[in-house]
Structure 1
Amino acid sequence: MYKVKHSERLDEALELAAPLNDGSASTAAAGGWAAVESLLFHPGDQQDVAEGRAVVADRLAAIVACSWPRAELTTLSYRHKPSTPDDLSRRLGTRETNVERSRLVADALSSDHCPLALECPHELAAASRMKALLAQPRKELNDVSRILRGVFRRLYRQRNIIVHGGNTKAIALDAALRTSAPLIGAALDRLVHAQLVENERPLTVAARAENSLALAGDPLGPDITRLLG
């Protein structure tokens, strides 16, 4: 399905991650972690005895955190459907890319003059999250990244229990998979897109994400809708 020029690493990673959809818990944890480790670990990384390859979890968290704003803003752009078309809905109708749509919604949320026409509680909650993010981008993004690091490091520990301890019935395994599996899918989606569309390797995407987290909110930093480019 995915053919990457000069490399099949992404294809192999996607195959390793396949059990996350319908495999057993133990194979999902082992395969899911192997997928992201194959893409986001570099032989030159410092391997701390206490943390092993947990640096992969940190890079994965940075990528997902930086993917979040545009994804949420884009979704809100399609949920804005006022009974009478307003300026925002008309402008959204002329935009062809998600970057453009998300930027318009971000501008609307930053202003009290053009509130979004939302009804569902989860949509209102999403708008509230985006308002908080736009007000304090560095704080909010790094808070999200910190939480995601915990999610992915928990999966890493469960994988180690399975692979190195031979225990396929760890008590926290199911919970670790429930929280991490959808997020790994989102990260792989971004990595595949970056490779196929922009010819950027996973470690390059991770480096950009970490840099964006450090510069979030800075006048010279990336726009909140372009944290991954």
Structure 2
Amino acid sequence: MLSSREHLSSVASVAMLWASAEGLLGHPGAQGIDVADGMAAIVACSFPRAELEDLLHKRMTDDFLSTDFPKKLEAESGSGRARLLLEALQIHGSSIFVEVQDIAAASRILQIQSAPHATLTRIQNYFKDVFRRLYYQRNFIMHAAKFDSVSLPSTMRSAPKLVAAGVDRVVHAQHVKAPVTPLSLASRARNELDLLEGDGAREIYRLLK
């Protein structure tokens, strides 16, 4: 279903992408926006950890690599590596990276860390817009036979990777020591985002861990 973007037309791919999300988060009585918003919560919760893990593979400045960071990183695994990078960013700033796009990504992480609830709520709303557009486009195609929506191209630029990210998190949750169902994962994601306002908040790199 996820590979439909590569092999099928946008019209067919919309239906396949939505089916992959609805198949995981749909349930009797659920509306399409419930599925969209649940997927948005999962992806938003996963975003900081995903960004940090991606940045760990990016090019860093020689000055920063001459510190004890590489040695500390070798001794860590999993969330410990994400924690080390976050701490380094808080101390040294985003300029530890070389490429402009990586500096921008690091700056986003620092923004999330400084105001986690406000920033991740805004990110979650962006994702809601994407997933809801996907749902609406699917309805246009499947129920109204409308194939010329002006927003279809923009939907297909953003939705496939976000759907894939959500599915990845759902599948991962099935293969841990204490498996979590897709609907439970979506509920937990919503709760974790709400808890960012208070004292019970988790670290931003452990929201779904």
Tell me whether the two structures share a fold, i.e. TM-score over 0.5: yes
Matched, 1:54 2:1: no
Of 79, 93, 102, 2:74 maps to 93
* Residue correspondence of structure 1 range 207-218 to structure 2 within 5 A: 207-218=187-198
1-structure distance, mates of 2:167, 2:114: 29
Correspondences of 1:1-229 after superposition (within 5 Å): 16-45=1-30, 52-79=31-58, 81-83=60-62, 84-97=65-78, 99-112=79-92, 117-197=96-176, 198-229=178-209
Q: Give the SS at the match of 1:68.
A: helix
Q: Which amino acid aligns with 1:209?
A: A
1:95 deviation in Å?
Answer: 1.6
**Cα deviation digits, residues 4-35 of structure 1 (max 9, x gap):** xxxxxxxxxxxx33313321111110111111
Per the TM alignment, residue 162 of structure 1 is displaced from its structure 2 partner at its CA by 0.2
Paired amino acid for 1:205:
L
Query: Which of 1 and 2 has higher RCO (CA within 8 Å, sep 6+)?
Result: 2
Larger helix fraction of residues: 2
Equivalent residues of 1:108, 1:116 under 8 A apart: no
Amino acid at match of 2:66: P
* Uncovered stretches (5+) of structure 1, i.e. residues with no partner: 1-15, 46-51
CA apart distance, 1:78 = 2.7
Rounded to whole Å, the distance in 1 between the matches of 2:197 and 2:103 is 24
Q: For 2:98 and 2:90, locate their aligned partners in 1 and report how far apart those are by CA, in whole Å.
A: 19
Specify the code of the residue in structure 2 equivalent to 1:32. Answer: L
Would you say how many aligned residue pairs link Structure 1 and Structure 2?
206
Report if aligned partners of 1:18, 1:31 keep a CA contact under 8 Å in 2.
no
Q: Distance in 2 between matches of 1:209 and 1:70?
A: 13
Farther-moved stretch of structure 1 (54-63 vs 81-90):
81-90
**CA separation in 2, counterparts of 1:156 and 1:167?**
14
Query: Deviations along 1:39-95, whole A, 9 cap, x unmatched?
Result: 1122144xxxxxx42111111110110111001111222326442521222211222
What letter corresponds to residue 103 of structure 2 in structure 1? L
CA distance in 2, matches of 1:89, 1:162: 51
Query: What is the aligned-residue RMSD (CA, Å)?
Result: 1.8
